[in-house]
Amino acid sequence: MDKKEFKVTPWEVSGNIDYDRLIKDFGVEKINDTILSRIKKHTKDLHFMLNRKVFFAHRDLNWLLDEYEKGNKFYLYTGRAPSGPVHLGHLLPWIFTKWLQDKFDVELWFQFPDEEKFLFKDNLSFDDTEKFLHDNMLDVIALGFDPKKTKFIVDTKNANLMYKEACKVAKKITFSQVKSAFGLKDDSNIGEIFYTSMQTVPAFLPSVLKNKKIPCLIPHAVDQDVHFRVTRHVLPKLGHYKPSSIQCIFLPPLSGVDGKMSASNESSAVYTTDSIEVAAKKIRKYAFSGGRATLEEHRKLGGNPDVDVSYQWLRMLFEPDDKKLQKIHDDYKSGKLLSGELKEILIEKVSVFLKDHQKKRELAKKNIDKFLL
């Protein structure tokens, strides 16, 4: 695939993604210093994912902050379609969402659309999604969300709350619209066609339940933007606010900076349940390196952190300290730091994270009920 060819849809992410072009194509706003300082006024410090533009785009954040400053608190909405094990790429937006919850002291609605992947994947059964649903919830809880302020909403299990609201949404969307927005076709199944209505519901359900208009902020990876474009088109017609969003780029797969991590490709992802040994082995074996072909060359010409997956994982997820990251960057670029050494820095970070996460994940098993609607 050539530099210009890439694809970003809810069902496929591939190629070398030009995020600036996405900003233009999708019609989202870039996260700039003005909006960052506006956020900082409320959060005191800025999460490194904001400073480093891992969260790089938004919709209507200024409006959301206007409302917040007027005393009209927002709530957060994000989600996970259970269809496989959780990997580190999934955690990225959730870790940021947890930071937002803490800093703004707001409610989070976490959707598990357990029918989505069932409808879109030929070989996935509801028995599969049921297993992954439980498993994936543990990963979310392990990140430390406040159970008093966090509600899990599961499409098939909370359909009594959701289906009627989804019908109100569906009445405002034609097949032509989902055809052009999602590329659905005449031979798409009628569940796929209906599905986006269900993904819209948590963007206004709390307003329905509390009978007042509450602003909504959706942190999500950029591939989901099309769902919320449809949502934003429909909700004013139902008397609700358009949701705001804050959107991140993808944690690159081990194989290189193209596309996104895939849960179904074991050599592209580190799962949250991988043992420290397996994770280390995967990084050593598969993590694409920006280093040179030989030691001599590397010492002389230096490595390329921009395409080095280990460096990118540190930048996007594992090294919050800007100074330490800068030193790693400079040492690698100068040739002082070797690819193998860089990998070991990442492995150390990943090991500490996994050990802690897996402990919390185990404890989460007792706490699922606290999060259910």
- Contact residues toward its own copies (CB under 8 A) are 115, 118-119, 126, 155-160, 162-164, 166-168, 170-176, 178-179, 184-194, 196-197
Nearer Cβ to its own copies, position 94 or 195?
A: 195
What is the longest distance spanned by two Cα atoms in the chain? Answer: 68
Q: Smallest distance, Å, CB 187 to its own copies?
A: 5
Amino acid at 356: D
Strand 29-30 relative to strand 13-15: parallel, antiparallel, unpaired? Answer: unpaired
Nearer Cβ to its own copies, position 23 or 238?
A: 238
Q: Smallest distance, Å, CB 298 to its own copies?
A: 52
Nearer Cβ to its own copies, position 195 or 288?
A: 195
Q: Smallest distance, Å, CB 161 to its own copies?
A: 8
The residue whose two tokens read 């392990």 is 142
Nearer Cβ to its own copies, position 178 or 222?
A: 178
Q: Smallest distance, Å, CB 134 to its own copies?
A: 16
How far apart CA 282 and CA 269 sit, in angstroms, is 8
Q: Smallest distance, Å, CB 119 to its own copies?
A: 6
Buried b (16+ CB within 10 A) or exposed e, 29-46: eebeeebbeebeeeeeee
Strand partners, 75: 216
Structure tokens at 158: 């909370």
Nearer Cβ to its own copies, position 76 or 198?
A: 198
Of 93, 75, 111, 92, nearest in space to 371 by CA: 111
How far apart CA 197 and CA 236 sit, in angstroms, is 14
Residue 236, φ and ψ in degrees, nearest 5: -60, -30
Q: Smallest distance, Å, CB 235 to its own copies?
A: 15
Nearer Cβ to its own copies, position 192 or 344?
A: 192
Nearer Cβ to its own copies, position 40 or 157?
A: 157
How far apart CA 289 and CA 306 sit, in angstroms, is 10
Helix (H) or strand (E) holding 58: strand 55-59
Q: Smallest distance, Å, CB 116 to its own copies?
A: 10
State the distance between the two ends of the chain, measured CA to CA, in whole angstroms: 44
Q: Smallest distance, Å, CB 169 to its own copies?
A: 8
Nearer Cβ to its own copies, position 22 or 162?
A: 162
The residue whose two tokens read 């005393």 is 71
Spell out the residues 6+ positions from residue 25 whose beta carbon is closer than 8 angstroms to its own. none
